[in-house]
Amino acid sequence: DTRDEDNETKASSMSKLMVTREKVTELHISSTEVEEMDISNSKEKIETSECATNKPVMVPGSPESHLIPDDNDSKDQTVVIKPLPLPTLINAPGGEFHPNSSDTDNTRDNTRVSTAPQLSSRMKHIKQEMAKNHLQFVRFEATDLHGVSRSKSIPAQFFQEKVIHGVYMPRGYLELIPNPKDNEVDHIRATCFNSDIVLMPELSTFRVLPWAKRTARVICDTFTVTGEPLLTSPRHIAKRQLSQLQDAGFSLLSAFIYDFCIFGVPEIINSKTISLPASALLNNHDQPFIQELVDGLYHTGANVESFSSSTRPGQMEICFLPEFGISSADNAFTLRMAVKEVARKYNYITSFFIETGFCNSGILSHSLWDVDEKKNMFCSSSGIEQLTIPGKKWLAGLLKHSAALSCLMAPAVSCRKRYSKESKDLKESVPTTWGYNDNSCAFNIKCHGEKGTRIENKLGSATANPYLVLAATVAAGLDGLYGDDGVLSGPENSTDLHQAKPSEIPLKLEHALMALEEDQCLRQALGETFIRYFVAMKKYELENEETDAERNKFLEYFI
């Protein structure tokens, strides 16, 4: 009996031990599950934290901006940040913006964003340059409608921050006329002039300025605070046209040739302030000024092919080396700023107006190449120095749109005096001329030299915005390539060019504005928004400016 009792006691103990083990096992399993859940939750929290740290920029007014919690609410709840759609990410301030935009007035900029390694490499190089040159300031530059540099300077220590978030500037700085008056905004009836825009730098244009002490500059594209490209931005319009050209299977090789005048320090003669032209820079006369200018342009990436004195006292000509894409307009934009700053170091004043009130010329020499930049489409394979069929079509487009083109390329009353060759005959327009190796023509075709066949668009004045000159030339040329109304008769080696209707250039700016408004091709290419604003601005200038006053304004504005 005692043995039976002992067996029962042992059995009871074993049973209790098994129950205990099962409970312990269940507890262990439960604990393991909890730990796995905690780890999973921890991972989710880490991912959420990383998402919050690397969240896309929430631009004001975006659909997702309401998802950003208040500081008080964020303590009590977990917020999932929904990423912005791809186009918004590309365009939001804080992203990297790139050329070859193909959007229109009603579309967004769908260009490709640089990868992180590319941006990191560029920023590393820029930081090295900043340290090497002990830079103190960086100018964020953008062009206004007149092609004049408007900028904000940033202390160097804030450069990287501003690259990410952009620099804010009042929109009116870039879109209003040089001397805005109280009723100007009401007259133009445009909106948002009092709002801010964002300058986003194109890092490839970062350069140390040799003529400015411990200062660099970077050319910027302009955007609204919601990330939309500014549709009145000349550089944006030029990029869009170059993108259209690329989509058609072509690229553009171009260079600007500029005249400008050099004046001595103003003197007071008989109570009048007069600026006398400086002596012509022939041979060794005052070479330090022009040499510092050319050397400085080289260090900013703008390669000057040649410079010389021109036909009038104190008048100089500078020719740039041709480059593909937007670079030619960037070089011209740089010259317009550089020549003023270097001249002041030598007690000169420079202007793109001649002392008689006429504008200096601003020629766009250009040729059409294949998309791989290997073959000049204007050059004949037979070796004959004539335009090819694509070249003639391109020329036909320029001739067809010459009236509207002249409005953008000679945008002031004084600029248009060149078209009449200083003739006193009362005419409303003059024929648009073209020829081979004829510098008197509006479109001069040059087949000689190592550059190959090219067309010089001589409609432009030096006061015209180079980005608009480039954009309008490409738009007109593309229309010629696509159109049938300017196709030539005869073989490829024929110099004949048939036009359904001979083209004319209006001598009055008012008539040129009408031609621009009626030109459906350029309206579509440059954008309705830009055309409406540009025409309204010029009409306002015509209503409020006389020729003499205009000359003084531009002399002050373009010096």
Which element (helix H / strand E) includes 162?
helix 159-165
443 closest CA partner among 382, 380, 486: 486
Q: Is the model's pLDDT at 66 over the cut of 50? A: no
Inter-residue contact 338 to 251 (CB < 8 Å): no
Three-state secondary structure readout of 231-269? CCCHHHHHHHHHHHHHHCCEEEEEEEEEEEEEECCCEEE
Q: What does the pLDDT read at residue 180?
A: 46
Bridge partner residues of 316 (DSSP): 260, 309
Tokens 């004319």, located at residue: 504
Q: What does the pLDDT read at residue 418?
A: 77
- Per DSSP, the residues of 49-61 read HHHHHTPPP--TT
Inter-residue contact 137 to 155 (CB < 8 Å): yes
Bridge partner residues of 229 (DSSP): 223
Distances (CA, A) of 236 to 102, 163, 539: 9, 18, 24
Q: Confidence class of residue 31 from pLDDT cuts 50, 70 and 90? A: very low
Q: Confidence class of residue 18 from pLDDT cuts 50, 70 and 90? A: low
Lowest mean pLDDT among 37-51, 162-176, 289-303: 37-51
If phi > 0 it is left, if psi is from -120 to 50 it is alpha, else beta; for residue 74 that is alpha
Query: Measured in whole angstroms, how far is the alpha carbon of residue 320 from the centre of its chain?
Result: 18
Structure tokens of 239?
Answer: 């990029």
Question: Side chain identity at 12, as an amino acid letter?
Answer: S
Q: What is the pLDDT of residues 243-265, one digit of tens each?
A: 999 999 999 999 999 988 887 76
Q: What is the pLDDT of residues 69-94, one digit of tens each?
A: 333 443 333 333 233 333 333 333 33
CA angle, corner 205, sides to 453 and 60, nearest 5? Answer: 120
Tokens 């040329």, located at residue: 477
Lowest mean pLDDT among 108-117, 132-141, 286-295, 455-464: 108-117
Q: Is the model's pLDDT at 14 over the cut of 60? A: no
Q: What is the pLDDT of residues 471-514, one digit of tens each?
A: 999 999 999 998 766 555 444 455 556 565 678 999 889 999 99
Structure tokens of 499?
Answer: 């036009």
450 closest CA partner among 376, 394, 382, 377: 376
Inter-residue contact 510 to 411 (CB < 8 Å): no
Beta strand 137-143 pairing with 215-224 = parallel
Which element (helix H / strand E) includes 219?
strand 215-224
Report CA torsion sign: 190, 194, 200, 205.
positive
pTM, two decimal places: 0.74
- Per DSSP, the residues of 292-304 read HHHHHHHHTT--E
Query: Measured in whole angstroms, how far is the alpha carbon of residue 179 from the centre of its chain?
Result: 23
SS3 category, 43 = helix
Q: Which residue has the higher pLDDT, 332 or 182?
A: 332
Beta strand 454-457 pairing with 443-446 = antiparallel
Complete domains list, the chain, with CATH: 122-224 (3.10.20.70), 234-267+276-417+427-556 (3.30.590.10)
Q: What is the pLDDT of residues 353-369, one digit of tens each?
A: 765 555 678 999 999 99
- How many CB atoms lie under 10 A from the CB of residue 68? 12
Tokens 């083209």, located at residue: 503
CA angle, corner 545, sides to 267 and 556, nearest 5? Answer: 30
Angle between helices 528-544 and 509-518 (to 10 degrees): 160
Query: Measured in whole angstroms, how far is the alpha carbon of residue 62 from the centre of its chain?
Result: 25
75-82 contacts at long range (C-beta below 8 A, 24 or more positions apart):
78/45, 78/48, 79/52, 80/48, 80/51, 81/51, 81/52, 81/55, 81/56
